[in-house]
Amino acid sequence: MKRSLVLVLAAWFVLLAASHLIRATRSEPRPLVEPPDHVLDIAAVYADGERGHPLRLVYRDEGPRDAPAVLLLHGSPGSRFDFRAVVPRMRDRYRLIAPDLPGFGASSVWAPDYSIRSHATYCVELLQRLGVDRVHVVGFSMGGGVGLEIYRAAPERVASLTLLSAIGVQELELFGDYRVNHVVHGVQLAAIRFVEAGVPHFGLFDDLFFGRPYARNFYDTDQRPLRGILEGFEPPMLILHGDADPLVAPAAAYEHARIVPHAELVMLADDHFMVFRDGHEIVPRLHAFLEAVEDGRAPRRADAQADRIVRAAAAFEPRDVPAAHGFALVLLLVSIAMATLVSEDLTCIVVGLLAGQGRLPFVAGVVACCVGIFIGDMLLFAAGRWFGRPALAYAPLKWLIRPEQVDASSRWLNRRGPAVIAISRFVPGLRLPTYFAAGVLRTSAWRFGIYFALAVAVWTPLLVGISAVIGERALGYFEWLEQHLLAALLLLGVWILIMVRLIVPTFTWRGRRRLLGTWRRWTRWEFWPAWLFYPPVVLYVAWLGLRFRSPLLFTAANPAIEASGFISESKHAILRGLADSPGYVARHDLVPAGESFERRLARIDAFRETHGLDYPLVFKPDAGQRGSGVAIVRDEEQARAYLDDASFDLLVQEYVPGDEFGLFYVRRPGEPRGRIISITEKKLPIVVGDGFSTLRRLILSDPRAVAIADHYFRLLGDRREDTPAEGERVQLVELGTHCRGAIFLDGARLNTPALTERIDRISAGFDGFYFGRYDVRTEDPEAFAAGERFKILELNGVTSEATHIYDPRHTLFAAWRTLFAQWRLAFEIGRANRASGHSPVGPADLLRLLRDYRKSSRTHPR
């Protein structure tokens, strides 16, 4: 299934790339036009009014040149042919100029801005080029807005304006609010852009009627200034509108006639598209109006009746607008559902305003909001499930998030689903991440679908109802919330964090001890996370790379070890390199990953039998770092459980009792003897029972253990509530790894010439090893100091550390100085080995090793 999906996606992207290549190399055809059509090259207009490179403007110019000029402006989408039913009835008496506005018809498809204001600029320049100083403007649908913008740009040129099923004031366009309309148009534009860019159509969709220019025309246009233009409009105006127009509400025509007190309003028994079908209703009225204008009989604003002037001065009253009904209502409800996909809260507020004004039935508006919001919620959930969860299997997410973390989060979300959904529904900004995460975590779709539905059913009527009651103030509150929500939530979050983390805990002994642990964890650098401790070391290593002119020169420090032991090196291969000193190396064997479960278990039994060993044994990944996946296995049942999860090469090793030490050894190439630059004494922390305190309390009481109490609690599991007997010593960890809770002390007192000589002999048998740390165990530290009675557990390469630095007695700067000196030695030894013919590892190989280790470490038992 996964392979098939990959093949389908690969084929899709190949076709998509080919489609984009063909579209990019295809030139836009220049149409062959003949009179009465003409072509004009005109400078492109940007949103800020700046002019750009030329684009093509096609226009039709017919009728007597000395007759009154009429500019016919089409709608969106549309072209000069929108007036095909009107032109034959008028061209004998008028000069008819009908342009294809940029983006439409035969004009250039591409334009930097498709707004009605930019289109007006093109029209004014067209009139200038044609020498037309005075024109009657007839604007259909969106073209009416262009006509108003022409009047604002060049009022002296406009003899009259006819609004034919035309847009106008913002308040009666779609939702009545520019922001919500802009969101809806943005969704429409995004969908079209997705089809254009995400579907391999090889140019077939580039010339769609409802394509990008149409969507951009609405998206780029701001109708808010049109009311002011109408209120100051002086020339004669005719308004022709259908009383069944579903796209531009008839209420818009009535409002335009109100605020232009001298306008003539004619309501026809027709719909929005009456101009396409038959000109017999429209043309006679146009003729009569244009003749009246030419004869000076048409009224101007100064000629308006007194009562209409009074009505024009009154403020717009939304409650006087009749409610939407029929197809217009259906279209509005669909638009509401679409708008919720972008801004749920803003859409609900505007729906409340429309309902409060009587322009939209309350129940219908709430249902449309609920449907849109629920669909959006489930789409987010589905996106998380279908795309987010598979993404966790790929880098870099798979490096950061482990499967067990996802499973634990899923269980938590399933338990607390209702509360999480309720909180996210009432706190803006939380919904998208919450619902997407619910899908990623593969929580129950049915269960969360019910939670979503219930939350929507409560939230939506509440918000719509409040908005209907308080009216326009709701938008003001929303704007304030948008501007200040982040800061308010941030301050609230900080205050809650301070209360929960600092103030509330001080009222209990356990809380005070945990606060103390937090303080010590951040004030004692040995507990610092890697991202805080290592940046100076990383910068120093980078500087050494520049100084030695080879950033990866340190990978030549140990030619006998892959990448000198930087990462992913085989522990088994390294221990085999110490075969000349068998009495000092813990017995071990490799259990390959590719064998069956029973075969691997048989290998372990054979290893025990060959060396006369019994449990416990030590299991660890053959390629592991910082104690990852290491376990002390005490019986066959634990061995079987470990093998169930071990899909990697496994190193099985005898368990060596006693104290653990780390010895950092360095020998320069060509020198007969090396030196031990660090000895670390590794102590496994213990607490002593008092007969009444639980392990949890004993850990919190310990001055050091309290700093990493949570780590010990995780290791102990349910045992943390056990109560040890008085005097009973409980060991908190089993492995000598600092990041897993062991205590590291400076063991310099054990650094004797005898121990150095023994390590020299062992290292000399491993040709090509010069730099690294031995981890050893011994039951007799004094014999160990004399170079006897110890066994090597591991030999770590170039990225191992002189771990005595973690002794609490050492300062942070002393630790950094030690690591700086250690890395300088690694580069110096690498330089010497390079001179002998050993090359550093290349970047590609190093990345491969990192990738392989990341992949294998995800399967290491925790």
Over the stretch 88-120, which tens digit does the pLDDT of each residue have?
999 999 999 999 999 999 999 889 999 999 999
Q: What is the pLDDT of residues 24-45, one digit of tens each?
A: 777 666 666 778 899 999 999 9
What stretch(es) of the chain map to CATH 3.40.50.1820? 31-173+223-317
Q: Residue 421 has what pLDDT?
A: 78
Task: Decide if 797 contacts 566 (C-beta within 8 A).
Answer: yes
Average pLDDT over residues 464-481: 68
Q: Does the pLDDT value for residue 414 go beyond 80?
A: no
pLDDT at residue 1, as a whole number: 44
Picking from 357, 315, 602, the residue whose alpha carbon sits closest to that of residue 475 is: 357
Among 146-150, 187-191, 214-218, 311-315, which range has the highest average pLDDT? 146-150
Burial string for 789-825 (b: 16+ CB within 10 Å, else e) reads ebbbbbbbbbbbbbbbbbbeebeeeebbebbbebbbb
Measured CA to CA in angstroms, residue 160 lies from 130, 138, 195, 221, 637 at distances of 19, 8, 41, 23, 95
pLDDT band at residue 479 using 50, 70 and 90 as cut-offs: low
Per-residue pLDDT, 395 = 58
Query: What pLDDT is recorded for position 49?
Result: 86
Using the structure block, give the residue that is written with the tokens 């099923």: 165
**pLDDT tens digits for range 489-498:** 566 557 756 7
Residues 379-394 pLDDT 10s: 888 888 887 777 666 6
Question: If you average pLDDT over residues 241-267, what whole number do you get?
Answer: 94
Residue 475 clears pLDDT 80, i.e. is over it: no
Residues written for the chain? 862
Task: Characterise 309 by phi-psi region: left (phi > 0), alpha (psi -120 to 50), beta (else).
Answer: alpha
- Is pLDDT of 819 > 90? yes
Angle at 715 between CA 713 and CA 721, to 5 degrees: 45
The pLDDT score that the predictor gives to residue 481 is 55
Specify the CATH class of 31-173+223-317 in words: alpha beta
Environment class of 81 (CB within 10 Å of its CB; exposed 0-12, middle 13-18, buried 19+) = middle
- Of the candidates 619, 559, 612, 626, the one whose C-alpha atom is nearest the C-alpha of residue 590 is 619
Residue found by looking up tokens 């080029």 in the block:
129
As a whole number of angstroms, the distance between CA 133 and CA 11 comes to 58
Answer whether 746's CB lies under 8 Å from 715's CB.
no
User: Does residue 326 register a pLDDT over 90?
Assistant: no
pLDDT value of residue 399: 55
Question: What pLDDT, in 10s, does the model give residues 423-443?
Answer: 777 766 667 777 777 787 777
Which range (306-310, 357-361, 535-539, 822-826) has the least confidence?
357-361
- Residue 862: is its pLDDT beyond 70? no
pLDDT at 394: 62
Q: What is the reported pLDDT for 186?
A: 82
* Cα gap 229→762, rounded to integer Å: 94
Residue 404 has pLDDT above 80, yes or no: no
Q: What is the pLDDT of residue 484?
A: 60
For the stretch 46-89, pLDDT in tens is 998 899 899 999 999 999 999 999 999 999 999 999 999 999 99
DSSP one-letter code for 210: T
The tokens for 191 are 């969908």
pLDDT of residue 227 exceeding 90? yes
What would the pLDDT profile of 631-660 be if each residue is shown by its tens digit?
Answer: 898 999 999 988 887 888 899 999 999 999
Is 191:267 a contact under the CB 8 Å cutoff? Answer: no
Contact 666, 554 (CB under 8 A): no
Among residues of the chain, what percentage have pLDDT more than 90?
53
From 476-480, 619-623, 714-718, 776-780, the region with the lowest mean pLDDT: 476-480
What is the value of pTM for the model shown? 0.56
Written as six digits, the tokens of 363 are 């129940």
Name the residue with higher pLDDT: 628 or 743. 743
pLDDT of residue 5: 57
Instruction: Please write the tens of the pLDDT for every residue from 123-172.
Output: 999 999 999 999 999 999 999 999 999 999 999 999 999 999 999 999 88
